């Protein structure tokens, strides 16, 4: 059988490669991440993505999945009985990937940051449905975010650290 060769002009190679890359990206399923408001089943994806070790502990009304990042930062994801991450908290020498940790609420964090911080190196966003607090400085960052309406009955938001 004769082999057929297709010759592509050099000026078309880069645009064709870009188009193929975009098409492939659009066809692949989006990765699931356990983030604020997401199902707990995707915590394993967070562990892999952040290259973290994980420890789980149980409380009466929720489970805590503590992910220790290579930097030493610890991210805690609080999962209610319904299997949804209702709170996240972090502390350590570096900020975690907040876009991963906050998920769809990351845009709220960005908007609050653009609007101005609540104090020196601190951000506080308090709404009826969402609370995000973040602060710190180099080598000592901390923060938490929780869905106010999803915190289990009898659980104080102060326990979510």
Q: Would you write out the chain's pLDDT as a tens digit for each of its 161 residues?
A: 555 454 544 443 333 333 333 332 233 333 334 689 988 876 666 667 767 778 989 999 999 999 899 999 999 999 999 999 999 999 999 999 999 899 999 999 999 988 875 666 789 999 999 999 999 988 899 999 999 999 999 999 999 99
Helix (H) or strand (E) holding 114: helix 106-115
Q: What confidence score (pLDDT) does residue 27 get?
A: 32
The pTM for the full model equals 0.74
**Cβ(104)–Cβ(37) under 8 Å?**
yes
Q: Is residue 79 part of a domain?
A: yes
Task: State the total domains in the chain.
Answer: 1
Q: What confidence score (pLDDT) does residue 16 get?
A: 33
Q: Is residue 61 part of a domain?
A: yes
- Which domain range does residue 49 map to? 40-159
First-to-final CA distance of the chain: 68
Helix (H) or strand (E) holding 110: helix 106-115
Q: Is residue 26 part of a domain?
A: no
Q: What confidence score (pLDDT) does residue 2 get?
A: 54
Q: Is residue 87 part of a domain?
A: yes
Q: Is residue 85 part of a domain?
A: yes
């Amino acid at each position: 059988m004769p082999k057929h060769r297709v010759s592509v002009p050099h000026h078309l190679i880069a645009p064709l490669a870009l188009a193929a890359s975009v098409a492939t990206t659009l066809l692949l399923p989006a990765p699931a991440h356990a983030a604020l408001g997401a199902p707990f089943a995707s915590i394993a994806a967070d562990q892999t993505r952040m290259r973290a070790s994980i420890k789980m502990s149980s409380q009466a009304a929720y489970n805590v999945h503590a992910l220790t990042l290579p930097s030493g930062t610890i991210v805690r994801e609080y999962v209610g009985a319904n299997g949804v991450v209702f709170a996240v908290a972090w502390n350590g020498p570096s900020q975690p990937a907040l876009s991963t940790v906050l998920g769809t609420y990351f845009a709220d964090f960005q908007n609050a940051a653009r609007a101005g911080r609540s104090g020196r190196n601190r951000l506080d966003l308090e709404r009826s449905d969402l609370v995000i607090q973040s602060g710190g400085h180099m080598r000592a960052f901390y923060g938490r975010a929780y869905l106010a309406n999803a915190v289990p009955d009898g659980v104080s938001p102060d326990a979510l650290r």
